[in-house]
Structure 1
Amino acid sequence: MQNVIKVGISACVLGEKVRFDAGHKVSKFVTKELAPYFDFVPVCPEVGAGMPVPRPTIRLISNEERVTLVETKDPTQDHTVQMESYCEKKVEQLEGEQLRGYIVCAKSPTCGMERVKVYKKRGAENDGVGIFTKQLMKSMPWLPVEEDGRLNDPVLKENFITRVYTLDDFYNSMGKEVTRGKIVAFHSRYKLTLMAHHPASYKQLGNLVAHIKDYDVNEFFQLYREGLMTAMTNRASRKNNTNVLMHLQGYFKRNLDKPQKQELRRVIDEYRVGLLPLLAPLTLIKHYLSAHPDEYLLLQAYLEPYPQEMRLRYSL
């Protein structure tokens, strides 16, 4: 399998010995399960900014004016300007590579995505964002970003992988030249996906696409990309998935006999109440779709948002 999907990653999560103690924080999920599908682009902001390995530990300190990055044992050693300069240049470089996602190291003062410890006058609070990741999310708000530890949660894992493949599909669908027709065709294939993730965004993006002729195509590309990926950050709930499954069921009302309709209804209902995983009704729907092809449904990304071999819908 070719590694063609570029995903940025904290170098320590990939197993590189770049941490302050010359160790790493390797994720077996990343190196064993994701490596066959993704082409990882490792980054260690601290090493990139010129800090040695090993090195003194660092922390974020907040005063009334700003958050600074200093050494834990000697706060006079301030690395803020050096780090911010590196992050700005590195993120600009990464933006040119059209990454499909980014996996960051949790709790790191440079790479943490959320709940990073920040030291304040009244004590430490877990309300910060790492300097590098903050710049990354500011410059590329459409980019799927997730922490290594959160990928152990089946729902968060599936959502992140879905977002990565959605962005990859979007870029591939545009090819070398963005056109209105390509965006409309892409949106048509993602209607059910958007319904499952965020019905309100499904309506908003549908209305936006309906007025695509009112925009410059490159301006619309950026507007749609951000709206799409923001919508996809919402995890597909059991309730929304059930609504989509019932919507899919409607396409077969003229093709299935009474026992088949009852079977499909039963499997969807058992998914709704948590007795079956999402994979069960989807497998049955795909079976009926192979027997009764529908051009619109066959193109829907919802039915196969990522390679089946990843087996992510087994526990949803």
Structure 2
Amino acid sequence: MSHQHFDTDINIGISACLIGQKVRFDASHKQSQFCVNEFGEHVKFVPYCPEVAIGLPVPRPTVRQIDVDGVIHVSRPDGTMDVTDKLRDYGQKVAPKLADISGYVFCAKSPSCGMERVKVYSQDGKGSTSDGIGVFAREIMKRYPYLPCEENGRLNDARLRENFVARVFAYKHFQTLEASGLSKHKLMVFHSQYKYLLMSHDILKYREAGRLLAKMQDNVDEIGKQYLAILMTAMKKIASRKGHANTLQHIQGYFSNELNGSEKQELCQHIEDYRAGLVPLMVPLTMIKHYLMEYPKDYLAQQVYLQPHPVSLKLRYSH
């Protein structure tokens, strides 16, 4: 199995409170056990706390997002201590320095760092909606629209966690490819490694990627940008059981000459059991990896789908 895309140093932006820094308004932290104890074995975290960075003290009065005549402000509930511009300016200052990060973990619900669903209060304080984006987070995501981003709370969900980590490794792999100088050949090789991963997430995006590369001329850098957009958009969609099962069936086809009738039947049964929700993904996947060891196939061995992140993270066992 090809593991070369795990070799490099990976930098991940993170809200400082999530790695245990006591920078929250009440001088507490919200340490993420997964980030610190598991993911942290494979990546280096680059922490930011925009509220402290712009000079707010610890502890500090809470600030919130307030809709003032259609414009979002971040301030105390009574409108004093408005830090909207400072937070935005800080985001715009930090964003260009993050070109080498491969993902970002934001602190949920924060008026500065929330990725989505941040509370926005009405001016009179009587009502609120949950459709805001943290002022700092918005600047980072605007600068890097395809950067894998996630929030601490959502990382408690096994499928969202696995999806985020897979996106981080794919994004880093593409960054390494770009840094080495894109060429038509390199892009085609990259795509051939990601074919089945793309297929499992989104069959339409998989086809779109193929069409894009088929019309590649000398505009390699432009095609590269478009390819990354297709790949990351597809991977953001959680792969369904149906998507995985169809992909596994395609892979099974590679062994049609080697397997006897009962082996084929057994593998088919495992794939169907997975599709029906009776067994986890690891069951058919382990069997395919076993046959790949027995009957080596270079093309399959290169497929990122079979191992999109380090085994030690154990991310595929729960679904």
**Fold match (TM-score > 0.5):** yes
Q: 1:114 is aligned with what amino acid?
A: E
2:208 pairs with 1:204:
yes
- The one of 286, 304, 307 equivalent to 1:283 is 286
2:72 pairs, out of 67, 70, 81, with: 67
Q: Determine if contact 1:100/1:167 at 8 Å carries over to the other structure.
A: yes
Counterpart amino acid of residue 159 in structure 1: N
Structure 2 unaligned runs (5+)?
A: 1-5
User: Could you tell me how far 1:172 is from its partner in structure 2?
Assistant: 2.4
Query: % of aligned pairs identical?
Result: 46
Separation in 2, partners of 1:49, 1:219:
37
* Paired residues of 1:193 and 1:302 also in contact (CA < 8 A): yes
1:1-316 map, 5 Å: 4-72=9-77, 74-95=78-99, 98-121=100-123, 123-213=127-217, 216-316=219-319
CA distance in 2, matches of 1:39, 1:117: 30
> Once the two structures are superposed, what CA deviation does each residue of 1:224-244 show, in whole Å capped at 9, x if it has no partner?
212211111001110000000
SS of residue matched to 2:61: coil
CA-atom RMSD, angstroms?
Answer: 1.5
Relative to the length of structure 1, the TM-score reads 0.95
The answer (yes or no) to whether the contact 2:115–2:151 under 8 Å persists in 1 is yes
Would the aligned equivalents of 2:212 and 2:223 in 1 still touch at CA under 8 Å? no
**Aligned equivalents of 2:51 and 2:280: distance in 1?**
42
Q: Deviations over 1:88-147 (max 9, x none)?
A: 11112112xx21110010000011111110012571111111111111111101100000
Tell me the amino acid that sits aligned with residue 222 of structure 1.
Answer: K
Cα pair 2:195 2:206 within 8 Å, conserved: yes
Query: Is residue 69–residue 80 contact of structure 1 (8 Å, CA) maintained in 2?
Result: yes
> 1:29 offset after TM fit, Å?
1.3
Q: Tell me the distance in 2 between the aligned counterparts of 1:3 and 1:152.
A: 26
Query: Match for 2:204: what amino acid?
Result: A
**Residue 7 of structure 1 aligns to which amino acid in structure 2?**
I
**Aligned equivalents of 1:81 and 1:173: distance in 2?**
37
Q: Which secondary structure does the structure 2 equivalent of 1:276 belong to?
A: coil
Aligned residues: 312
Alpha-carbon shift at residue 156 of structure 1 (Å): 0.4
**In the TM superposition, what is the alpha-carbon distance from 1:175 to its structure 2 partner?**
4.1
Residues 60, 67 of structure 1: 8 Å contact kept = yes
- Cα distance in structure 2, aligned partners of 1:300 and 1:219: 25
- Letter of the 1:66 counterpart: V
Give the SS at the match of 2:316.
helix
- Secondary structure at the counterpart of residue 118 of structure 1: strand
| Kept after mapping to 2: 8 A contact 1:3/1:36 | no
* Alpha-carbon distance between aligned partners in 2 of 1:160 and 1:306, rounded to the nearest angstrom: 10
Tell me the alpha carbon deviations over residues 258-290 of structure 1, each in whole angstroms, 9 at most, x when there is no partner: 121111111111111111110111110011111
C-alpha distance in 2 between matches for 1:263 and 1:132? 52
Task: Give yes or no for contact 1:3–1:39 (8 Å, CA) kept in 2.
Answer: no
For each residue in 1:26-79, what CA deviation from the matched residue of structure 2 results, as whole angstroms up to 9, or x when unmatched? Answer: 11111111111110000101111221211111000113341111123x413211
1:217 CA displacement = 2.1
Distance in 2, matches of 1:50 and 1:178, equals 42
Q: Distance in 2 between matches of 1:36 and 1:267?
A: 33
Deviation at 1:249, TM superposition (A): 1.0
Q: What amino acid maps onto 2:274 in structure 1? A: Y
Structure 1 gaps of 5+ residues are: none
- Shift of residue 220, structure 1, vs aligned partner: 2.1
Asked if the contact 1:189–1:299 (Cα under 8 Å) also holds between the matched residues in 2, the reply is yes
For the residue of structure 2 that corresponds to 1:312, the secondary structure is coil
- Deviation for aligned residue 1:218: 2.0
8 Å Cα contact 1:70-1:78 kept in structure 2: yes
Q: Give the whole-Å Cα distance in 1 for the aligned partners of 2:316 and 2:168.
A: 16
Distance 2:180 2:248 in 1: 35
